Amino acid sequence: MTSLPPSPFQWRASTTTVAGRVVTYQRRPGLPSGLMVSPAALWLAHECAKYPDPVLCVDVAFGLPALAFPNRHIDVLTRHAGMTASMAQSAPSVTVLSESTTLAPGHYQAILIEVPPTREAWRQRLCHAWPALAPGGVLIACGANDAGGKIAASDVKALFGRCNEQSKHHQRMVTAIKPASIANPPPWFTQAGIALGTWTHIDFHGRRYVSQAGVFAHDRVDTASALLCQQLPALTGQRVLDLGAGAGILGGWALDAGAASVDLIDVDAHAVASLRRTFADCATVRIAWGDVLDGLPWTQQYDVIVSNPPFHAGKQRDDAMVQAFVATAARHLAPQGAFWLVANAFLPYRPLLSTFFADVTSVTTTPAYHVITARNPLS
């Protein structure tokens, strides 16, 4: 292993105020809400005071309502491993869930959702929240107008029959009371990959992958990953690691190229659930739910490390994630190994890679993407 310096992405305490209470939360780069509590999360936390327990917070930044009201029964559902780590430090006694399938039917009197920016991911949250909300219980959803807030009301109305809307400070809040049944469920309520317990399928070079809404490129092979696959050499007998595995396209390609073992890690619980279904019968594949900024669960070195890394946290560009991927690759790459990375052509990753590796080479470049290899980690 190389003796590179420890990760600079340390947790830091920050505070905000909810209902007159000073609330402390733990933050660091790479979280979906960024470094600060979002206005939507603040508004949801204030609204939480109006509703009876038990309450479920779905992807609300830093689990803020649970932190603001520690003596209440407020559970947190988040698919992001980094947010789970934040909650473990801020409020270790709070119940944090990662899978909607574990929610008890009709258990919650109120469900708070911070609206995600994509419509498919938002509809998935609604589908998964519906069975967990008690009849007569209240759904409260909030998001920025330019990041999902404007689309929320029409989908809530289609599912719940009616809703109320409020708007302030470029945020929109939607509230609705759950009826006893759905008279005419909208078509997306049963759509594959959105409805609870369903999947989309991706067929690529003879292998079938499963995925879900909200996972990167959940219904297709993205162009960048396909480009990287085309450049990879034969991997016979190699130990391979995929950082930010998503639906598993790169890992599956590595297996088919002869890899002896493949380790896959992703920060998204739904991506990990998809990976476990896709590779359920592959004894040489290990899968982990985790945030690369917090390190790997495995200590071994790898002959080949591949990645199509994310560069956004929410809507904001976040270079900390890519820096963590590169630093992790440098720590875990075998002496004669190679790190293969694909990224948007406009992203200046070669200087970053040169900080951690002695040999950095551009393999191929298109107008949209470039593939880079890095070798010889600096000690």
Average pLDDT over residues 73-98: 94
Task: Count other Cβ atoms within 10 Å, centred on residue 94.
Answer: 17
Whether pLDDT at 251 is above 80: yes
- Quick one: pLDDT at residue 18? 96
Write out the CATH class of domain 200-377: alpha beta
221 — pLDDT class (breaks 50, 70, 90) = very high
The two tokens of residue 106 are: 């009709």
Average pLDDT over residues 198-213: 96
318 — pLDDT class (breaks 50, 70, 90) = low
Whether pLDDT at 2 is above 60: no
Average pLDDT over residues 316-343: 90
- Quick one: pLDDT at residue 6? 44
Whether pLDDT at 51 is above 90: yes
Task: Count other Cβ atoms within 10 Å, centred on residue 136.
Answer: 11
Please tell me the pTM assigned to this model.
Answer: 0.92
The CATH code belonging to domain 12-190 is 3.40.50.150
- Quick one: pLDDT at residue 242? 98
In angstroms, the first-to-last Cα distance of the chain is: 9
5 — pLDDT class (breaks 50, 70, 90) = very low
59 — pLDDT class (breaks 50, 70, 90) = very high
Query: Among candidates 85, 84, 88, 47, which has minimal Cα distance to 69?
Result: 47
Residue 161 burial (C-beta neighbours within 10 Å; 0-12, 13-18, 19+): middle
Q: Which of 24-38, 70-84, 195-209, 339-353 has the lowest mean pLDDT?
A: 24-38
- Quick one: pLDDT at residue 118? 87
Amino acid letter, residue 323: Q
**In the chain, count of helices (H) and strands (E)?**
10, 20
Beta bridge partners of 209: 202
Average pLDDT over residues 31-45: 89
Task: Write the pLDDT tens digit of every residue in 140-189.
Answer: 999 998 877 888 999 999 999 999 999 998 999 999 999 999 889 999 99
Does 54 sit behind a cis peptide bond, omega within 30 degrees of 0 on the bond before it? yes
Whether pLDDT at 229 is above 60: yes
- Quick one: pLDDT at residue 317? 65
Give yes or no on whether 12-190 and 200-377 have one common fold: yes
All structural domains of the chain with their residue ranges: 12-190, 200-377
Task: Write the pLDDT tens digit of every residue in 277-305.
Answer: 999 999 999 999 999 988 999 999 999 99
Average pLDDT over residues 199-228: 95
- Quick one: pLDDT at residue 379? 75
Residue 296 burial (C-beta neighbours within 10 Å; 0-12, 13-18, 19+): middle
4 — pLDDT class (breaks 50, 70, 90) = very low
- Quick one: pLDDT at residue 3? 41
- Quick one: pLDDT at residue 97? 94
Whether pLDDT at 34 is above 90: no
Residue in the structure block whose two tokens are 């393999």: 363
102 — pLDDT class (breaks 50, 70, 90) = confident
The answer to whether 344 and 368 have CB atoms below 8 angstroms apart is yes
- Quick one: pLDDT at residue 28? 87
Average pLDDT over residues 234-260: 97
- Quick one: pLDDT at residue 283? 97
Query: Among candidates 311, 316, 314, which has minimal Cα distance to 326?
Result: 311
